[in-house]
């Protein structure tokens, strides 16, 4: 679960079965989690570049312990292939 508040909104990223039907939502995302050290640079760019260059929608949630890359469920297989082709190891 990720909770982000800005001046204009409150965004909650969580498993879709927890979202009330009346809430404004965008469903059918799957996550890839990276075990990246906080001090590493360029990690998110190296992961999103091959997906973006191939037209896949991306949503990233970053925490102190790691980055969570979300793509639409329909794009999961393509995303895994593109990330593997770019040299990333998926767990």
Q: Are strands 2-5 and 59-62 parallel, antiparallel or unpaired?
A: unpaired
Which tokens is 20 given? 């009330």
Overall number of domains in the chain? 1
pLDDT in tens, 3-23: 999 999 999 999 999 999 899
pLDDT in tens, 11-65: 999 999 999 989 999 999 999 876 666 666 778 888 899 999 999 999 999 887 7
Query: What CATH number does the domain containing 60 carry?
Result: 3.30.2130.10
Instruction: Evaluate whether residue 58 is within a structural domain.
Output: yes
Instruction: Evaluate whether residue 1 is within a structural domain.
Output: no
Instruction: Evaluate whether residue 53 is within a structural domain.
Output: yes
pTM of the model: 0.81
Parent domain of 64: 27-91
Instruction: Evaluate whether residue 5 is within a structural domain.
Output: no
Q: Residue 79, class by beta-carbon neighbours within 10 Å (0-12 exposed, 13-18 middle, 19+ buried)?
A: buried
Alpha carbon 52 to its chain's center: 12
Contacts of residue 61, defined as CB under 8 A and 6 or more positions apart, other chains included, come to 2, 13, 67, 68, 70
């Amino acid at each position: 679960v990720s909770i982000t508040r800005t001046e204009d909104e409150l965004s909650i990223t969580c498993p879709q079965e927890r979202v009330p039907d009346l809430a404004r939502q965008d469903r059918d995302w799957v996550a890839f989690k990276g075990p990246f050290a906080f001090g590493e640079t360029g990690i998110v760019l190296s992961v999103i570049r091959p997906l973006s260059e191939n037209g896949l929608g991306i949503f990233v949630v970053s925490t102190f312990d790691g980055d969570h890359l979300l793509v639409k469920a329909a794009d999961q297989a393509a995303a895994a292939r593109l990330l593997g082709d770019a040299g990333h190891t998926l767990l």
